[in-house]
Amino acid sequence: MDYQPMNQPPSPPAALELDQRLTRALEAVPEVRIPADFAVRVASQVPARPVVSLTQTHYGDYAMFLGIVVTLAALFIFGLHTSDRRTFNLAETFLLTDFIGLTVWLSVRRHSLR
């Protein structure tokens, strides 16, 4: 092989040969070989799926129902001690709003899950 400095372009016949070799290499279609047992080997490496239990829990419904009962009890307690003080009226209003919101939410949620 001839010595050529790196900063000089290759000679025209060498550049033409290099271009032709690159073109042949890039245009060559690779041969694809897939072994016959490829799918079996890949499937054997996949871990088995665990059985998933889809038991439905109702913890959120129970918490909402408990909130409704506690709010209703607080409303009754405030109702027994009714006075003309604004503090109790404001607390009753907040509890009533909470009670209505929870009951509507629980009823809509239960109706939409059927």
The answer for residues whose C-beta is within 8 angstroms of residue 99's C-beta and 6 or more apart is 68, 71, 72, 75
- Per-residue DSSP letters for 15-40? HHHHHHHHHHHHHPPPPP---TTHHH
The first and second tokens of residue 30, run together, are 């690779």
Q: pLDDT truncated to tens, each residue of the chain (114 aa)?
A: 566 666 666 667 778 888 899 999 999 888 888 889 999 999 888 888 887 878 878 888 888 889 999 999 988 887 777 666 666 677 788 888 988 988 888 888 766 665
95: number of Cβ within 10 Å: 19
Q: Is the dihedral of CA 34, 37, 40, 43 positive or negative?
A: negative
pTM of the model: 0.46
- Give domain limits for the chain: 75-114
